[in-house]
Chain A
């Protein structure tokens, strides 16, 4: 069983919410798979890594990233984005289709997967477009997208404005087992807004985006989910009204799931401060009350998963007037650390955090991994939960540094990431 390339993680806290395991023990990796979990294990020839005092968790999975390749390689590439993922403890990422060209056909999907296989440090699961070119008209060839490797469809960032077309998309996608990921935004209401509408937008004289622009769109998308029976996943939920709508839909038995992002859980509109473009994203940072509602919903499971919406932008898009700056922040390398703040504040338990970042995303899109189980893929993240560090964007693996958390001290981080039995990140011992 044992041999070259095998890895033996010794004496860590094996924490796997999916299987209910939470105990100190060893984990053996062989041939890219988990060979054994639990108890005291020995394996000749295996690389033994001491994990005492560390948490050994399933590899983290991010449902929502922008890898920017093809087309915007100066912001991020598949290589740099997956390296950032590995550094943040992620073993798998789902990449949104708003590249250039858009991932709306087999050729683009295959190109992404080929490059990821060649240069990637994490598993890459492409999300295909709903409409060709994200133009909001017509349908992509979803059967072929699914066959090529897309795990879902979405017009992320450019919500399908036409309800009838979105209905058709949901019906059609369901025929090929593809969930529909909704960036829910009523564009006619958010209009020219650049931040959350509230006292801070009034103070700064910036055009606001009311929370209702999100709520209205989510209500529409959930109504269409009810009409079509489609598997619908709501992206980046940011406000209390959205949470309430999703809770009602779940109570009604709809097959919906939802994610939020670390910044909605830890920041609010006031943090835009004096026009900080690194705190400009869409949906925007909401009110403190919204943040509280999103936190509670994540703890209660109304929101199923945490995803980063990792959106790299260079200084060309960010060192601008606030109105002109692009929406979006990077998140892969800070997400786990920021989420550990919520554990420290008793908003979530550590098992809940791990579940929301591994088992839940795996279940939502039917991805492998998300659990520590013998025979499963060897995607494992080893976490130091009590090892404070300061976010220094200059040290990111990502090509972009547009983080809202620069200079923030975070309680912990991933010290070792293993993807398919291969070490993709190992934090150098600091001395």
Chain B
């Protein structure tokens, strides 16, 4: 099994069949993380570079564990330790990395399109681990896996994504992936945090929290980035929590089997009340566990299959 692509820069353009292959592979690799010895030799001799231009804890840890569980050699670079701080351009840094013959680069960058630039200049595989406010495809895939596990399917589901859609790369990847798999996506948030002509992404826009939650099979809450306050995109965290935060009162009006997701890290008491975050509807920690499995699947399918 493999994918007919060298890179994963986004879920845009990734077919339903490819997504199914990735999710099926992730399912089959999941059990490795449950073994006492959590390691298989699949990627022995392969080199994976984790190239993080932007701080990240969970995505980076998740990718590193995924690579290590497949026995790849891994190197980590972060902005503070790389030549970036010495004024080297992205392309120069990448060409230097390429000269050391990595098989795959996992890249996180604060600017949209940075991995696309890299992909135009170096031949090795690239996984976009989040670029600016564009996409975060591995997060999108782990969300799809989590939904498929809890609901048994993706086709015909109603998914609501609530919060800062404009600045969320998770939202874009979720929307694209869910649309590809046949789910119907609704978004809701303050108008200042909905991107221009958001319907063009293939979503409908809810008019209230109640409307957003009422018919949903899945509710994905997005993190409020506090720096958006200084940009005056909403007046206060207090009002945000009151109007756009998810609490038990909303779940009382929702479908009984609704599940709640969040890409983390959570602002407890802002977008999610603690009762919801820790309650029975929450599958947030399943998402984290699935993250490792999905990333193992991506590494395997992009660089491991010919050696397997």
Contacts and interface: CB of A to CB of B under 8 A. Distances in A.
Interface of A: 197-199, 201-208, 210, 274-275, 319-324
A199 B196 CA distance: 7
Interface in B102-150: 109, 111-114, 116-117, 131-135
Given A319-B91, A321-B90, A204 B112 contact: yes
Contact of A319 (B89, B111, B135, B172): B89
A321 B196 contact: no
B91 A205 contact: no
A274 B114 CA distance: 10
A275 B12 CA distance: 14
Interface of B: 12, 89-91, 109, 111-114, 116-117, 131-135, 169, 172, 195-198, 200-201
B196 A205 contact: no
Given A204-B112, A275-B113, A275-B116, A323 B132 contact: yes
Most A Cβ at <10 Å: residue of B113, B132, B198: B113
A197 to B, nearest CB: 5
Contacts of B114: 321
Contacts of B197: 198-199, 202
A257 B116 CA distance: 41
Nearest to B171: A205
Given A205-B169, A322-B113, 20 more contacts: A198-B196, A198-B197, A202-B197, A202-B198, A202-B200, A202-B201, A203-B172, A204-B112, A204-B113, A205-B112, A205-B113, A205-B134, A206-B132, A206-B134, A275-B112, A275-B117, A319-B117, A320-B90, A322-B117, A323-B132
Contact of B113 (A199, A208, A321): A321
B201 A324 contact: no
Nearest to A277: B117
A8 B266 CA distance: 79
Nearest to B92: A319
B91 A206 contact: no
A323 B201 contact: no
Most B Cβ at <10 Å: residue of A198, A201, A202, A323: A202
A205 B12 contact: no
A321 B196 CA distance: 22
B112 A202 contact: no
Nearest to B109: A321
- Pick the 4 closest A-B CB pairs, nearest first: A205-B134, A275-B113, A199-B200, A205-B133
A47 B134 CA distance: 61
A203 B135 CA distance: 9
Nearest to B200: A199
Given A198-B196, A319-B89, A321-B90, A203 B111 contact: no
Contacts of A204: 112-113, 134
13 contacts: A198-B200, A203-B12, A203-B201, A205-B113, A205-B133, A206-B132, A206-B134, A274-B113, A275-B116, A319-B91, A321-B90, A321-B113, A323-B113
A205 B135 contact: yes
A99 B111 CA distance: 29
A323 B195 contact: no
A323 B111 contact: yes
Most B Cβ at <10 Å: residue of A203, A204, A205: A205
A323 B113 CA distance: 9
Contacts of A202: 195-198, 200-201
Contacts of A198: 196-197, 200
Contacts of B172: 203, 205
A274 B112 CA distance: 10
Contacts of B12: 203
A323 B110 CA distance: 10
Contacts of A206: 112-113, 132-134
Nearest to A324: B111
Contacts of B109: 321
B112 A323 contact: yes
A210 B196 CA distance: 9
Contacts of A324: 111
A320 B132 contact: no
Contacts of A208: 196
A322 B201 contact: no
Contacts of A323: 111-113, 132
A204 B91 CA distance: 20
A231 to B, nearest CB: 36
Contacts of B131: 205
A198 B198 CA distance: 9
B59 to A, nearest CB: 17
A324 B195 CA distance: 21
B132 A203 contact: no
Contacts of A321: 90, 109, 111, 113-114, 117
A202 B172 CA distance: 9
B3 to A, nearest CB: 19
Contacts of A319: 89, 91, 117
A416 to B, nearest CB: 38
A274 B90 CA distance: 17
A199 B197 CA distance: 6
Contacts of A320: 89-91, 117
Nearest to B168: A205
A199 B12 CA distance: 14
Nearest to A274: B116
B200 A203 contact: yes
B110 to A, nearest CB: 9
A205 B89 contact: no
Nearest to A191: B231
A289 B228 CA distance: 32
A201 B12 CA distance: 14
A347 B114 CA distance: 38
A198 B200 CA distance: 9
A288 to B, nearest CB: 13
Nearest to B135: A205
B169 to A, nearest CB: 6
Contacts of A203: 12, 172, 200-201
A319 B94 CA distance: 13
A202 B135 CA distance: 11
A207 B200 CA distance: 16
A284 to B, nearest CB: 13
A323 B134 CA distance: 12
Contacts of A275: 112-113, 116-117
A201 B196 contact: yes
Contacts of A197: 196
Nearest to B196: A197
Nearest to B134: A205
A241 B26 CA distance: 51
A203 B201 CA distance: 7
